[in-house]
Copies of this chain bind each other. A is one copy, B any other.
Amino acid sequence: MEFGKFSLEEYKKKAREFHGTLAPGMLIGGYMVSRAWKELPEEGFFDVIAESSHCLPDAVQLLTPCSIGNGWLKIEHTGRFAIAFFNKETGEGVRVFLDSEKIKAWDEINTWFFKLKPKMEQDSEKLFSQIIEAGESLLSVQKVRVEDRFLEKKKKGGANGICPSCKEAYPLKDGDTCLACQGKLKYTLI
């Protein structure tokens, strides 16, 4: 089993370095990215939507060129454990999700995913060995077209100006003051 250019052991090491621990979601996320790659044409550029901010964005960032900071990875929180790769021109691509029907066959994965026992009572070793044994068989795939809003080439948008309130630079398109001074984010100076 390969995770992009990494072996399982290499991916586990990378995941620990980047994510801090090898969480079960990181390992399943690795299989999800691998599964998606197999469905995509070899040519073309793909953006990714992660439907959860837990673990999945890090698996995507480790295994693909897509990152939060380069804009090719977007997080659209739906609470579902799913990722979608799509072609930016056509909107077409594949969505891979952890299939709750398919995990029923694996008692420890099912217990972990549906939180059927407190974490302390779960068998972590058994959980990881079930995930590795099950691998991509836990997943289902859909061919999808994403909403048009993901196709828009977002320009970084117009000029920056100085916010009259905080005196910092901000995109003038945001209004008369920056979004922070409009109330979105407040700090107390100490």
* Residues in chain A within 8 A of chain B (CB atoms): 18-20, 26, 29, 49, 51, 53-59, 61, 65, 67-72, 75-82, 84, 92, 95, 97-101, 113-115, 142-147, 156, 158-160, 162-163, 166-171, 174, 178-180, 184-190
Contacts and interface: CB of A to CB of B under 8 A. Distances in A.
A142 B49 CA distance: 34
A14 B147 CA distance: 33
Contacts of A76: 184-185
Contacts of A143: 189-190
A180 B80 contact: yes
A26 to B, nearest CB: 7
Contacts of A186: 147
